[in-house]
Amino acid sequence: MPSAFATRFLQLEHLLVQTRQYWQLIAFEQGSIPWEALRPLLDSLCDDEVRRLDGDPDALVGLLSPFIPELEQLTSLVSLPQCNSRSMSFPFWLENGIKGRKVEQLHAFVDALGTIEGSWLEWCAGKGHLGRMLGFMGAETVTSIELQQTLCADGQKSAEHQRLPLNFICKDVLKDDVSQEFKTHDHAVALHACGRLHETFLRQGSAAKCKQLIVSPCCYHLFTPHEYEAMSELGAKSNLNLTHNDVKLALQETVTAPNRTTKVRQKETVWRLGFDALQREVTGNRSYLSVPSVGKQIFSDSFSAFCHWAAEQKGISLPANVDYPHFLKLGEKRKHTTDRIELVRHAFRRAIEIWLVLDRVLYLQAKGYDVEVFEFCPKALTPRNVFIKGVLNNQDNKGEHNV
């Protein structure tokens, strides 16, 4: 009999397969809204309404459900229990140097861990902010693994100054075998480890039979092949055929950015689409042409200067008499269309993320872990708020906690 996790995994997969025409496409490549039935509704939305709906998943699902009936199942399939967090506080010296919302994220994550005791392994530790909190809360020892030597040195210095039981190890977890570290620690934790980093954490930790593995996944596509490689047996049989573009959809739910940052992002999108319209006319290419990332200062210059830079990056010679205002307007028009296509795709972003989460959960279950999944903080702190906790089942039967 399949576990509750497996049942939900298959239900989500069925929903995503049935609706792939709405999410498995690249918005930039579409010249118009591709769903005829949705076109009048989407065109009627002003930009402010698009932004409001994009930040309110329930309202978005409610708007689209009459046109996409499968969405009516979505809310129950993607919902997770929420951690009943306490109001934690740490001394100012422990939080010194931790920026922005990161402090509150760490508070919520540490609170979700429950009683802190025994030995801990901190994966992809950075400067060891989480590890120092674990040490302060009662961990006997914390081993913090980090790739960058400068971060290890800074973290070790802080821990020694604060008299906390941390020891840093500088290793590349994607290349180096650190299985022995899992074997010698009771608990292993990875907060917002990206893609292959958290996959490696789960593989090495479960192979070493670490007693407890705790991970909050992030950026599922990073350091991975273009075609998604599932971790679980059920995932390997899936016919979703996810690509990086599909997996990145799960990450497109963000907390509100500062107004200036939002304006720069919008300008960047318009300019990139405007340049794409220009290159299509110049080269005859009918496909969207991706241009490399670039520092935001370039968007303080002119659109024509950006086009010359982008053309140089792609080896394109621009004619001398380009009507740049015309192509800028085309960029604005295409952004209008792209935003509304992305709005529909965004209705499925949490579904893809929970499917990816459950792929990891099923992997842990198959390795003999009892697994618990919940949200460790509100989305306002971070949309990457999923907490996966695996406890090695010493009885060798694969138990589970329902979500």
Task: Please determine, for residue 214, whether its predicted confidence score (pLDDT) is greater than 60.
Answer: yes
pLDDT band, very low/low/confident/very high, at 400 (cuts 50, 70, 90):
very low
Residues with Cβ within 8 Å of 311's Cβ and at least 6 positions away in sequence, in order, are 275, 279, 317, 318
> What pLDDT digit, counting tens, does each position of 315-372 carry?
999 999 999 999 999 999 999 999 999 999 999 999 999 999 999 999 999 999 999 9
Distance CA 119, CA 121 (A): 7
Bridge-based pairing state of the strands 386-392 and 212-218 = antiparallel
The amino acid sitting at 245 is: N
Q: Hey, which residues does 166 pair with through a beta bridge?
A: 142
All structural domains of the chain: 92-252+352-392 (3.40.50.150)
Q: Decide: 365 and 5 in contact? Cβ < 8 Å.
A: yes
- Over range 142-158, report the average pLDDT: 97
Characterize 117-132 residue by residue with b for buried, 16 or more Cβ atoms within 10 angstroms of its Cβ, and e for exposed: eebbbbbbbbbbbbbb
Q: Give residue 1's pLDDT band: very low, low, confident or very high (50, 70, 90).
A: low
- Of 92-101, 361-370, 373-382, which has the strongest mean pLDDT? 361-370
The span from the CA of 278 to the CA of 293, in Å, is 18
For tokens 């009507």, what's the residue?
323
State residue 395's pLDDT score: 59
Indicate if the pLDDT at residue 243 is higher than 80. Answer: yes
The pair phi, psi for residue 379, each rounded to 5°, is -65, -25
Tell me: pLDDT of 30 over 70: yes
Which conformational region is residue 126 in: left (phi greater than 0), alpha (psi within -120 to 50 degrees), or beta?
left
For the chain, give the mean pLDDT: 93
Which pLDDT does position 48 carry in this prediction? 94
Would you state the pLDDT for residue 205? 96
Name the pLDDT band for 253 (thresholds 50, 70, 90). Answer: confident
What DSSP string describes 218-279?
A: E-TTTTS-SB---SSHHHHT-----BHHHHHHTT---PPPPHHHHHHHHHHHHHHHHHHHHH
Residue 333 confidence (pLDDT): 96
pLDDT tens digits for 97-137? 898 889 999 999 999 999 999 999 999 999 999 999 999 99
Tokens 């025994």 correspond to: 118
Q: Do residues 80 and 378 lie in contact, with contact meaning Cβ atoms separated by under 8 Å?
A: no
Q: Is the pLDDT of residue 258 over 70?
A: no
